[in-house]
């Protein structure tokens, strides 16, 4: 059972696929903000998955981060998500990311638990023509 204060950390090595220049979010060979966001979401999603019933997953519904320091290719980074609030199907997290020199990003993230099959079906049928 998940509780307020539970946290999870994931670690990655920055590779070429994670760079701003590769992702199109900038011109430099530094860790892209979308990559930081993905790492943070991964930490929150993985933490939440451990407390959800079979057939239930979560989807991100909001993220707000401040990316405050650049990180080069080859650096080790870690993203941490800490559960701060539970309200029904809504789960809020504090998120942070670090490289070996310290904090590189911080913010908040919200996820909502959903029935995986129903949610996927809704998405798949979104543009069906009748």
Determine if the pTM surpasses 0.85.
yes
Quote the pLDDT of residue 1. 87
Q: What is the pLDDT of residues 91-130, one digit of tens each?
A: 999 999 999 999 999 999 999 999 999 999 999 999 886 5
3-class SS string, the chain: CCCCCCEEEEEEECCHHHEHHHHCCCCCCEECHHHHHHHHHHHHHHHHHCCCCCCEEEEEEEEEEEECCCCECCCEEEEEEEEEEEECCEEEEEEEEEECCEEEEEEEEEEEEEEHHHHHHHHHCCCCCC
The torsion angles phi and psi of 27, rounded to 5 degrees, stand at -110, 0
Residue 98 near residue 78 (C-beta atoms within 8 A): yes
């Amino acid at each position: 059972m998940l509780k307020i204060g539970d946290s999870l950390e994931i670690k990655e090595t920055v590779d070429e696929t994670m760079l701003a220049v590769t992702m199109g979010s900038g011109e430099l060979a530094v860790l892209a903000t979308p990559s930081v966001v993905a790492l943070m979401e991964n930490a929150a999603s993985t933490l939440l998955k451990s407390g959800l019933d079979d057939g239930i997953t979560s989807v991100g519904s909001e993220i707000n981060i401040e990316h405050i320091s650049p990180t080069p290719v080859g650096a080790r980074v870690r993203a941490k998500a800490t559960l701060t609030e539970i309200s029904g199907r809504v789960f809020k997290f504090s998120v942070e990311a670090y490289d070996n020199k310290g904090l590189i990003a911080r913010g908040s993230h919200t996820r909502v638990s959903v029935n995986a099959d129903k949610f996927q079906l809704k998405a798949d049928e979104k543009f069906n023509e009748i």
